[in-house]
Amino acid sequence: MKNKFPTPHINAYPKDFAKTVLMPGDPLRAKFIAETFLVNALLVNNVRGIHGYTGEYKGNKISVMASGMGMPSIGIYSYELYNYFGVENIIRIGSAGALDESVKIRDIIFGMGACYNSNYASQFCLSGSFAPICDYDLLTTAVEEAKSFGVQYHVGNLLSSDTFYCDDVSSNEAWRKLGILAVEMEAAALYMNAARAGKRALAMCTVSDNIATGEATDSSERERSFTQMMEIALNTAAKLR
């Protein structure tokens, strides 16, 4: 596949990105991470307001770029990063809605797998259903970092949903019965793109609300207060070789 830069969605060149990219959904969260944690952070992309930065963290070159909302959006950005810009690792750092009362606000969930209600996998023309999973080395490194921070965390299955507002009010309960920890909107597409490209991916999410109990954080808290997840992701990225 012939590379042409810039791409339709990323106004940059391969040298502008690190091998590891942290990927929040919110562009303002990407900006916050770059300004708070990275040294000598440079804005390398701002097409459609999707902030992308590259800087240094603990002496390591690391990038952070927003994915936007939903599987189609992260599907585009992760595809281009993996296949055109030489990125090897993408760590999604997002928010999720817990489906079980035992998962509390601000707990961190590592998505070992990601179920989905999307048609995203149909493009691969498989004769069965694909089970998207994370990279084991990324997962174990991140879990060890979470332990060192002393945070409450869970490892298990996420649901990547195409619908934020769903007409089927019973759907969340059906997924909860199968042990799904939380619902978000991006991980499955990221895992599928990583698998197809032969690259690595991990989704970690801070619980922003609990669908069962009604507890919730607001948008400003989600943008700026999920710093433990950010530092866990940054420390994980700094240990990758």
Q: Which residues have a Cβ under 8 Å from the Cβ of 136 and sit 6 or more positions away? A: none
Q: Where are the beta strands (DSSP E) in the chain?
A: 20-23, 39-45, 52-57, 60-65, 89-98, 108-116, 153-160, 182-184, 200-210
Task: Choose, from 16, 26, 107, 209, the residue flagged as catalytic.
Answer: 209
Instruction: Give yes or no for a contact between 63 and 20, defined as CB atoms under 8 angstroms apart.
Output: yes
Cα distance between residue 77 and residue 119, in whole Å? 18
Q: Is 218 a catalytic residue?
A: no
Phi, psi angle pair for 8, to nearest 5°: -60, -20
The vertex-7 CA angle with 96 and 59, nearest 5°, equals: 65
- The structure tokens listed for 215 are 């507890």
**Distance (Å) of CA 41 to CA 16, 51, 54, 65, 117:** 11, 12, 5, 12, 37
Instruction: Give yes or no for a contact between 203 and 154, defined as CB atoms under 8 angstroms apart.
Output: no
Cα distance between residue 52 and residue 73, in whole Å? 14
Instruction: Give yes or no for a contact between 108 and 146, defined as CB atoms under 8 angstroms apart.
Output: yes
The residues assigned a catalytic role are 209
